[in-house]
Amino acid sequence: MSVHISAKPGDIAKNVLMPGDPLRAKYIADNYLKDVKLVSSVRNIFFFTGSYKDKELTVGASGMGCPSIGIYSWELFTEYEVDSIIRIGTCGAYTKKLKLFDLINTDTACSESTYAECDFGWKKDQFKHQGKAYDIINETAKELQLEVKTGSIHSGDVFYRQEKGKPEIVKKYKCLAAEMEAFALFANARFLKKTAASLLTVSDIIPTHEKISADEREKALKPMIELALEAVVKM
């Protein structure tokens, strides 16, 4: 048991899929995994271990923001010997060139967050994906004939931002979209020499305020979930 995960040692697989929302973890377990076991439910952050096409994997939520994913990914990497975490989440596009439902495989996560400086003393505002998962996702997408964009994204600390215009860091690194977690996940994985990727579905377009509706969400996230599962099979 770790502080925030009650699974027994050995109950968590080497490969983890990590949505933000615990109910999305449950949806994936219910609809895609065989021989599923609920291995932790501390704070209702459910972790399920099962298999997909005979590959063992765990799906569990990160919660929202760098501090939250920082805790869960750290405990998974250090206390459960997890090798790889693929975040699967939504993002808001900064550019009208992206459309709702587009998929982004995150090359680099950029942030104003002090997470990496406070934790590791790293005064850095960007981290690349770590290890082989990113390439496997791109190759798998080609095989499935799914279009996946790649590039930098912004892991912001603020969802309800009141300042007008794009944040400076978004202009500096030409970030395609905003989300709130990949920076801490990539920093932890870099420090611990683990694998981490972040696959995102565009759920809103920031300049036009277009959004995927609540009804469309389940259908909208299917290609991302299926791509991530197929990628895990190859890990």
Binding site for ligand HPA (CB under 6 A): 90-92, 156, 159, 178-180, 203-204, 206
| Type of residue at 4 | H
Contact 65, 180 (CB under 8 A): yes
SS3 content of the chain, % helix, strand, coil (to 5): 35, 30, 35
Helix (H) or strand (E) holding 201: strand 195-205
Minimum Å gap between C-beta 51 and ligand HPA is 30
Give residue number: closest CB to ligand HPA. Answer: 92
Region class of 31: left (phi > 0), else alpha (psi between -120 and 50), else beta: alpha
204 is catalytic: yes
Nearer to ligand HPA, 13 or 91 (CB): 91
Considering the complex, what minimum distance in angstroms separates the CB of residue 159 from ligand HPA? 5
Nearest approach in angstroms of CB 50 to ligand HPA is: 27
- Nearer Cβ to ligand HPA (28/180): 180
Closer CB to ligand HPA, 5 or 176, in the complex: 176
Find the shortest distance in angstroms from Cβ 57 to ligand HPA. Answer: 24
- Return the number of the residue (84 or 203) whose C-beta is nearest ligand HPA: 203
Per the residue annotation, which of 21, 30, 204, 215 is the catalytic one?
204
C-alpha–C-alpha distance, residues 77 and 186, integer Å: 12
Of the candidates 111, 63, 100, 113, the residue with the CA atom closest to the CA atom of residue 206: 100
Catalytic residue positions? 204
